Structure 1
Amino acid sequence: MMRIAITTVVGALAVVGSAGATIEAGGQRPALAVTDTRPFEVRGSGFEPNERVQVLLTLNGGQRWRSTVATSAGVFRVEFRVSMGACSRFTMQAIGSKGSRARVLALRKHLDCDSPS
């Protein structure tokens, strides 16, 4: 029986930012979080106010880009219409026009998936 690990993934995503990211004016490091999986929805926080942001989702070897602008509070939300299998691996990164960056690497949707060789 597969155990869904969305809570684990969301918790991990909320705290992962680029190692080289600077802490923005609001005192928060840029970060990404998955807020839903159908559709696949991503929330960014800690970005510069009104910063243009490019978000890249790499899933099963394919890449999809979304563009958005952070609010005056430095947050944004983007949606990707993608199908994720039970053991899909994905990476995400967000790159802001004012230098903010956040990324998430190689996470799995379920805990019971085989480890990569």
Structure 2
Amino acid sequence: MSLEEAKAHLAVIHAADDLLIGAMIVAAREVVERATAYALVVASYEWAPVGDRSAPLPIEPAAVTSAAGDRPVLFDTVPGPVPAPLRAAILLLVGDLYANREAGITGTIHVENPTVDRLMFPYRRVAP
């Protein structure tokens, strides 16, 4: 997800919020990755699994880089193409983050966008 793509979605034509929007892109991508366990960018992580478990990794596809039995488990994600529904979910989350940067206002009703969940649902991992 590029800054230009997010700014086009937000209809932002100035550069004053570029740093803020960039941070929102990262946050939205991480939300989608954690909700779906689907790697969207190349990244390195450390994971502290409970018990002896070392698979499945919390985000895949990925390759373990630490030695067998080491804790935390170190791994690098190796993503493929990002599915269009997940790109759309990221854009919707960025839009929500940009529009709602402050705490809720008294007297209004905040409704979450159900489209984000619908876009991510087919990609959610089912626990083994």
Q: TM-score, normalised by structure 1?
A: 0.33
Report the structure, 1 or 2, having the larger helix content.
2
Report the structure, 1 or 2, having the larger strand content.
1
Bigger CA radius of gyration: 2
